[in-house]
Amino acid sequence: MITEDYKKISDNIPREPGIYRFLDRHGTILYVGKAKDLRSRTASYFGSTKHQAFKTKTLVKNAHSLEFTVVDTEQDALLLENTLIKRLQPRYNVMLKDGKSYTYICIKKEPFPRVFFTRKVIRDGSTYLGPYTSKYQVKIILDLIKKLFPLRTCTLNLTSKNINEGKFSVCLEYHIKNCKGPCVGEESEEDYLKKIDQVKNILKGNFKPVKDYINETMDFYAGNMQFEEAQNLKEKLEVLQDYQAKSMVVSTTIRDVDVFSFIEDETYAYVNYLKIINGALINTDTVEMKKNLNEDKEQLLAYGIHRLREKFNSIAPEIVVPFDLETIEPDITVTLPQIGDKRKLLALAEKNMTYFMLQKRKDEINKIKKQTPAERILTTLKEDLQMEELALHIECFDNSNIQGTNPVASCVVFKNARPSKKDYRKFNIKTVVGPDDFASMKEVVTRRYTRLLKEEQPLPQLVIVDGGKGQLSAAFEIFKDLGIEKKVTLIGIAKRLEEIYFPEDPIPLYINKKSESLKLIQNLRNEAHRFAINFHRDKRSINFLGTELTNIPGIGEKTANKLLVELGSVKRIKEASEVELQELVGPANAKKLVSYFLGVSDEEE
């Protein structure tokens, strides 16, 4: 996924908590992440890559699309992220693959209930508070409960009969003051259950009665000059006040349920789906339906529910919907919640539907957005040449020589209808003797595309040859030898009437002289001609200068080139002293040069 693709959807990504998913081109989820601010977090993948880890760069490179789901809190996002990662095992996720369940505090259903930490919910009538995203936070809360309300932690089977019979005459916990000794009759079950009620108040966020108790206890400690104990209680209370006792994403009061929201416009209807299994949100999806003339919203929602439940193999016995339905299977419970957790889940589905619609509208606007000049020109070119794809990469060849001397060729490259000068190439013709443009074209085309194929470089969509049918046929012969004649469109342009020729087609194409596509072809042809002429001129100048020096007996091409590089011209070589020449080419060659130029001067006189 490239930065330009992300920018098209970034405005529709909300600044709210949620989870995001990177998918490959086949729809497989590559990575699941959570965010306090979805837009800021996803934008971080498409900024500067200077300090990005290699894994992150690879993820973004392989990603084809981005999806997100909005939740109410960052804690909810973490829990949903945990659920999805464990279920889907995305390739690029490392965290949260430890197989651990969520953290709960259990108030066991038994006489003199125990309160303890657990990761497993057992449906035995016990009360489970949570889930908690931090085990450290649970430890603080349990430690606070232990200090405020000493409770038993043993696994003894405490019943009134056993206690009355004195079966637990010795209690180690009571001895070390971890509890008040209910097993030995030192605390009544009624008093013990009052403490359990206070524990539930703490865990459910009903702090006032607990605060009153803590404040009284702190006053007691302060009155007895026990300031350290009073301060410890104050710190624990502050931690407790920051705690959220309940998550909406994972709920122990909701088991298997499907949640659906609905929205429609003049043409389409949309149904958003939240799949809840064992209290955990494990999947979200949205189905889009094109409306006919006579369907009402009840029919459309019922159809969307059937399609989504079938897609995700849902057997949930209950569905949550925004309005009543009569066409649902009789063994399914239909709920229209007004308050509570199910209403919160329906609100969440509706919120996700809102963002889905915003993103859809943004995509539609982008589709009808005015084309860039390059897109417009290349689209016209594609239609004029009847190509199957846009010519984003075009190459054009031209030869240059004067009566067969110093033959050269050029290849210019346009990308997105603009010159890409770093990709221009010059060719010295090596195998052709004399003025043979057809053979020269064969040589440069062979060298160019043999190399691209060998290096596994992308081929252009369009190749232009400056010349008529002769040069075009020569190039096409090489295309067939290399097996690329069906992969690349090849044309030739003749200068006289600006005719466009196709291989093995004697009838030329005449493009409107005002057409932007013809102007693009002409620009390529003119640029290739300019580049070839300049290269030929430079080579001819070097060869002309070098020829005079290499005519001197004993002076070879390397010595001549060295002199030209150091002194710049034949004139400056003539004016140089013998000492200066000795430093460059040695005494023997310096003497030859001085003698030669003195002889030339004598002849001129």
pLDDT tens figures, 499-542: 899 998 888 888 888 889 999 999 999 998 888 888 877 766 65
How far apart (Å, rounded) are the C-alpha atoms in residues 157 and 162? Answer: 8
Using an 8 Å Cβ cutoff, are 96 and 81 in contact? yes
Q: Which residues contact 422 (CB under 8 A, 6 or more apart)?
A: none
Residues 81 and 151 in one domain: no
Write down the mean pLDDT value for the chain: 81
Nearest to 394 by CA among 489, 476, 467, 484: 489
* SS3 state of residue 112: coil
Range scoring the smallest mean pLDDT among 410-414, 483-487, 535-539, 593-597: 535-539
What distance in Å separates the CA atoms of residue 195 and residue 203, rounded to the nearest whole number?
13
pLDDT at 337: 92
- How many whole angstroms separate alpha carbon 199 and alpha carbon 206? 10
Which stretches does DSSP call E strand in 308-404?
Answer: 318-320, 333-335, 393-402
Helices 437-454/469-482 angle, 10° precision: 30
Q: How far is residue 170's CA from residue 165's CA, in Å, rounded to a whole number?
A: 13
Q: How far apart are CA 322 and CA 330, in angstroms?
A: 18
* 381 falls within a domain: yes
Mean pLDDT of 481-486: 90
C-alpha 268/C-alpha 287 separation (Å) is: 10
Residues 221 and 265 in one domain: no
Number of separate domains in the chain: 5
- 39 and 142 co-located in one domain: no
Secondary structure element (H or E) that encloses residue 214, with its range? helix 208-223
pLDDT value of residue 605: 35
Instruction: Indicate whether 97 pLDDT > 50.
Output: no
* 355 plus 383 within the same structural domain: no
Q: Quick check: 404 pLDDT over 70?
A: no
- Contact at 8 Å (CB) between 569 and 545? yes
pLDDT at residue 262 greater than cutoff 90: yes
Beta-strand pair 65-70/18-23: antiparallel
Query: Cα separation of 538 and 531, whole Å?
Result: 11
Whole-number Å distance between alpha carbons of 377 and 379: 5
**DSSP helix/strand/coil, 570:** helix
Shared domain for 479 and 555, answered yes or no, is no
| CA distance linking residue 204 with residue 360, whole number of Å | 40
- Does residue 246 have a pLDDT over 60? no
Among 186, 214, 241, the domain-final residue is 241
Q: Which residue has the tokens 């030739």?
A: 492
Whether residues 355 and 385 fall in one domain: no
Please give the pLDDT value at position 602: 40
Residue 271 lies in a domain: yes
* Cα angle for residues 271, 275, 279 (degrees, 5° grid): 145
Reported as a pLDDT band with limits 50, 70 and 90, residue 477 is very high
Q: Is residue 252 part of a domain?
A: no
Return the pLDDT at 180: 78
In a domain, 485, yes or no: yes
Is the per-residue pLDDT at 441 higher than 70?
yes
Asked whether residue 251 is domain-assigned, the answer is: no
Q: How would DSSP label each residue in 259-279? A: EEEEEE-SSEEEEEEEEEETT
- Any domain includes 522: yes
| pLDDT attached to residue 244 | 44
Bridge partner list, 270: 263, 288
Q: Is 26 helix (H, G, I), strand (E, B) or coil?
A: coil
- What pLDDT, on a 0 to 100 scale, did the predictor assign at position 121? 79
Alpha helix ranges (H) inside 437-515: 437-454, 469-482
Residues in the chain: 605
Which residues pair with residue 106 across a beta bridge? Answer: 116, 128
SS3 assignment, position 347: helix
- Which of 320, 341, 366 terminates a domain? The answer is 366
Each residue's pLDDT tens digit, 175-232:
556 677 777 777 888 888 888 988 888 776 666 777 787 788 888 888 898 888 888 8
Residue 412: closest CA among 520, 498, 524, 522: 524
Percent of the chain with pLDDT over 70: 84
Mean pLDDT of 312-324: 89
Q: Is residue 57 part of a domain?
A: yes
Res 114 pLDDT > 60: yes
If asked whether residues 531 and 511 sit together in one domain, one would say yes
Euclidean distance between CA atoms 521 and 523, whole angstroms: 5
**What pLDDT sits at residue 463?**
95
- Provide the pLDDT for residue 89: 81
Cβ neighbours for 600, distance < 8 A, ≥ 6 positions apart: none
3-class secondary-structure state, position 413: strand
Domain with residue 352: its CATH number is 3.30.70
246 within domain boundaries: no
Are the C-beta atoms of residues 393 and 413 closer than 8 Å to each other? yes
User: pTM for the full model?
Assistant: 0.45
DSSP assignment letter at 162:
H
Are 209 and 280 members of one domain?
A: no
112-116, 264-268, 472-476, 546-550: range with lowest mean pLDDT: 546-550
Interatomic CA distance for residues 149 and 438, integer angstroms: 99
Mean pLDDT of 477-497: 89
Check pLDDT > 90 for residue 239: no
Asked if residue 398 lies in contact with residue 528, where contact means CB atoms within 8 angstroms, the answer is yes
Distant-in-sequence, close-in-space partners of 48: CB < 8 Å, separation ≥ 6: none
102 or 373: which carries more pLDDT confidence? 373
- Determine how many CB atoms are found less than 10 A away from the CB of residue 378: 26
The answer to whether residues 293 and 207 belong to one domain is no
> Can you tell me the distance from the alpha carbon of 365 to that of 370, in angstroms, rounded to the nearest whole number?
10
Lowest mean pLDDT among 168-172, 396-400, 454-458: 168-172
Give which of 307, 311, 315, 309 is closest to 289, Cα–Cα.
307
pLDDT at 29 over 70: yes
Q: For residue 181, give its domain range.
A: 103-241
Tokens, residue 320: 């949550």
Residues 127 and 212 in one domain: yes
Q: Do residues 228 and 361 both lie within one domain?
A: no
567 and 521 belong to one structural domain: no
Q: Which two structure tokens, joined as six digits, stand for 575?
A: 């004016």
Looking at residue 5, what is its pLDDT?
Answer: 81
Give the burial string for 256-266 (b: 16+ CB within 10 Å, else e): ebbbbbbbbee
